[in-house]
Structure 1
């Protein structure tokens, strides 16, 4: 019963929002997909330092990689153990995918957060135009048009636009800060390995 009532209310909001509402719903779905993907990718894998992560991997105590830092440390160590010249360049190539992965959907999320309030404003303008048109036509009490429908459209689209943008902006800011921290830690992995601060032998032992 409650589920049916919830569905009816959602349908009412959807229909009352006018032609802008489908785009806002689509923007909402894409936004939360992008945020969910970034949250999953930006799992660091514990709160230990990069040096501790590398030392555990060197000693064979790393276990299954639980996040991007542990996986990057494992990939970087594999490159360092392979030997050869131009280690820093090879580390850059090996960790490039990790840098790209943590940036994926960042611009898309930012674009939706910026566009959602504008779509809501467009719905507001459309709803107010319908209201003024109803005044001209003296259609004051029609169910599918008139002043009530115009004001409803204006309010619903504005409300949904802000409801999409505000949580998206807060979560985006949190994930962006987490991305910057991970970028610095990925760079630290390359610095440590390329400077031979933790020298690694070919058989996996620390020299």
Structure 2
């Protein structure tokens, strides 16, 4: 089975030409970035931010399981100490979380945009090979020739679209989740600041 997989990969690399290795590398990088973002964008709790704070007013009684719980684990002790600079302290404390929420967003979008272009480049290279074969009248070559050029054009186009379409869909879903988490982090800051201000209620 492993030998068959290696043979299939070797076939794709041979047919796809020099455009295929960058596409394969782009695929691996894309799915690593998607996996990282999926793991980093876990909320950790299904309750609303306000409900979590009301349930754990003195801090969490368990290890944080996601971004929002990590923010509360860092923010509630700061809010209990109070102070005029609480907002700035919360901004500093939440910065690593906000950085993790944004991490690899641009990389995914760049790969999604570039992969079809690399596939198009392979298409152009394959068509050039096809027309060269027509010029040389090498119509029946088993490797290369018209068949090889058309195969290269089709395989690279297929690979570029296979990389871009799932990345576009899943990347868009992750971006929506990231936007929601950023709004909830801002809500955590607002609630904690309001609770630490004398004479106000959240």
- Give TM-score scaled by structure 1 length: 0.90
Give the aligned partner of residue 182 of structure 1: 181
Give the aligned partner of residue 37 of structure 2: 38
Distance in 2, matches of 1:198 and 1:59, equals 16
Distance in 2, matches of 1:60 and 1:84, equals 18
Q: Deviations over 1:145-188 (max 9, x none)?
A: 10011001000000000000000001001100000110010000
Kindly report the root-mean-square deviation, in angstroms, between the aligned alpha carbons of the 2 structures. Answer: 1.6
Give the aligned partner of residue 116 of structure 1: 115
| Counterparts in 2 of 1:76 and 1:60: CA distance versus 1, 3 Å | closer
Distance in 2, matches of 1:79 and 1:147, equals 70
Give the aligned partner of residue 54 of structure 2: 55
Task: Give the conservation status (yes or no) of the 8 Å contact 2:58–2:76.
Answer: no
| Counterparts in 2 of 1:60 and 1:74: CA distance versus 1, 3 Å | closer
1:162 is aligned to 2:143:
no
Q: Deviations over 1:24-71 (max 9, x none)?
A: 001001100110000000011121110122233324554121111001
Give the aligned partner of residue 71 of structure 1: 70
Give the aligned partner of residue 16 of structure 1: 15
Extract unaligned runs of 5+ from structure 2. Answer: none
1:85 is aligned to 2:84:
yes
Q: CA deviation at 1:143?
A: 2.5
Residue 58 of structure 1 aligns to a residue whose secondary structure is coil
- Give TM-score scaled by structure 2 length: 0.92
